[in-house]
Chain A
Amino acid sequence: MVTRATCTEQLLYEIHDPANYITPDCTADFSKVDFKEIEKDKIAFSGASGKTATTTYKTSVGYLNGFIGEGQISYGGSNCIARALLAQEIVEKRLKKVTYPISGLRCDLIGINSLFDDGKIPNEINEVRLRISAKTDTKEHAQLIANEVETLYTNGPYGGGGATKKVDEIISIASILIPKDDFTITILYKNT
């Protein structure tokens, strides 16, 4: 579907200031762009302009930024939210006592019909899945964070099930500007 509405969404997608969208070739000005529907799924646009390009290239630099440890466990039936919250409290308290660094601690309660599905969407909350995720410095410490959730099976509120754990390496991205003069661009064409 190509309409004024879909084109407007696409025009503004991730561009921030429409009058100053920095590209490698120019600083584009989309603020006066207008769309006209000329026939079904066919749009004409006008009003795009631009200014001279900046003297820098945006460069995305990836860097190692530690690890994320994540654990999940579900509780179902009556009182499931209270049990999940108690489980969360236990893990939060235990993570406060560890000696390794922890940041970005996130505790989520998720769920509709993943535990006991009787073919109907329940009117009331009948299950909840606790998800705990945090960043730390090493893979081993991330594993320990994930283990804190799994251990709720036997050291937590009644009826926890379906525990999972995960460790992810974090490669973060920093955006920097590099002077264009620092690059020599060569293009090599190959006939195949």
Chain B
Amino acid sequence: MKLWEIAHVRIGDKGNISNVSVTVYDTKDFEKVSEKLTPEFVKQWFGNQVLGEVKRYDLPHLGALNFVMYDALGGGVTSSTTLDKHGKTLGAYLLDVTF
């Protein structure tokens, strides 16, 4: 099973920091998703894209995890040489995590 079958994500940016929220459709899946998506797992998943620390904030009553990924956008919207300077497409890659 893929993460996109049980959760949705929204991704945003502040400077060189990427912020992605993962929300399960059904709270019965929250435990499973929180166990797998540790900050270490998410940092490893994005490989060279995320050079800094990953922090996670849990909101179990909403079935949501909020990840803050530092040094993740090649300098940020105003400085990056990449095509997707906001990192808007990265969320879709997180949805590929297998359970």
- Chain A residues proximal to chain B, CB less than 8 Å: 4-5, 8-9, 11-19, 31-35, 62, 65, 68, 70, 104-106, 108, 110, 131, 133-135, 170-173, 175
Contacts and interface: CB of A to CB of B under 8 A. Distances in A.
Q: Interface size for chain B: under 10, 10 to 19, 20 to 34, or 35 or more residues?
A: 20 to 34
A19 B78 CA distance: 28
B19 A68 contact: no
Given A133-B81, A134-B81, A171-B78, A8 B15 contact: no
Contacts, number: 87
A162 B11 CA distance: 33
Interface string B1-40: 0000000101011110101010101000000000000000
B92 interface: no
Contacts of A31: 57, 59
Contacts of A17: 55, 57, 68
Contacts of B19: 12-16
Given A8-B21, A8-B23, A170 B79 contact: yes
14 contacts: A8-B21, A12-B64, A14-B19, A16-B14, A16-B68, A34-B61, A104-B75, A104-B81, A134-B81, A135-B79, A170-B78, A171-B78, A172-B78, A172-B79
Secondary structure at the A interface, as helix, strand, loop or mixed, is: strand
Listed from nearest, the 6 A-B pairs whose CB atoms lie closest are A14-B12, A12-B21, A133-B81, A9-B10, A106-B81, A104-B81
B39 to A, nearest CB: 13
Task: Report which residue of A4, A5, A12, A68 has the largest number of chain B beta carbons within 10 angstroms of its beta carbon.
Answer: A12
A5 B12 CA distance: 16
A160 B80 CA distance: 26
Interface string B69-85: 00000111011111100
B81 A135 contact: yes
Given A8-B21, A14-B19, A172-B76, A131 B83 contact: yes
Given A14-B13, A16-B68, A34-B62, A9 B21 contact: yes
A173 B78 contact: yes
A173 B14 CA distance: 10
Given A31-B57, A62-B78, A104-B79, 4 more contacts: A14-B19, A16-B68, A17-B57, A31-B59
Nearest to B25: A5
Nearest to A168: B81
B49 interface: no
B81 A172 contact: no
A125 to B, nearest CB: 18
A171 to B, nearest CB: 6
